[in-house]
């Protein structure tokens, strides 16, 4: 007899026969560059909108995060990335695994405007959206269980009809 708990668990962790097709702005998610996440904001590798990276992380205790992290985020692994925008945009940061993600502009954390999961079987575990002004930002990833993570920044309006 199948229990309700078993059905809920199966729905939360689908068995994937094939990768799910991805819609814009995530169509390039399965491509990948390589990087080592920064431990300092200065010199942190750049995230380029629409270009995913598989990034090696560092034990979070060794990363000099520009803003104090929330409870539990100093555990596990983390790293820093830069993100430069020519104009203001709603930007989604997608991660392949469980971790905290914050965007820092100047000396302040930017509040997220939405968050959720990627499509089932896509490899995107979470997407956090931020309304960002033009300029340079730091993306901090913290509390990751794994030593590497797939990360991508995307503009919400990428390839959308005018």
Task: Evaluate whether residue 63 is within a structural domain.
Answer: yes
Segment 66-88, tens digit of pLDDT: 988 766 677 899 999 999 999 99
Mean pLDDT for the stretch of residues 14-39? 83
| 116-141 burial: b if 16+ Cβ within 10 Å, else e | eebeeebbbebbbbbebeeeebbbbb
* Residues forming beta bridges with residue 94, ordered by sequence position: 127, 152
This prediction's pTM:
0.84
Domain ranges, residue 36: 24-155
* Domains: count for the chain: 1
Helical ranges in the chain per DSSP H? 4-12
In a domain, 114, yes or no: yes
Tell me the CATH number at 89.
2.60.120.380
d(CA 158, CA 154): 7
């Amino acid at each position: 007899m199948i229990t309700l708990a078993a059905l809920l668990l199966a729905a939360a962790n689908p068995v994937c026969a094939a990768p799910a097709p991805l819609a814009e702005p995530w169509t390039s998610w399965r491509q990948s560059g390589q990087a080592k996440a920064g431990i300092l904001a200065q010199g942190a590798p750049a995230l380029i909108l629409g270009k995913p990276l598989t990034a090696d992380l560092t034990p979070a205790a060794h990363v000099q995060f520009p803003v104090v992290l929330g409870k539990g985020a100093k555990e596990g692994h983390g790293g820093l990335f830069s993100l430069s925008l020519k104009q203001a945009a709603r930007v989604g940061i997608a991660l392949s695994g469980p971790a905290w993600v914050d965007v820092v502009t100047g000396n302040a954390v930017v509040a997220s405007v939405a968050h959720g999961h990627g499509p089932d079987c896509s490899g995107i575990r979470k997407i956090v959206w931020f309304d960002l002004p033009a300029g340079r930002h730091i993306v901090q990833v913290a509390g990751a269980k794994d030593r590497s993570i797939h990360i991508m920044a995307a503009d919400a309006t990428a390839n959308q009809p005018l």
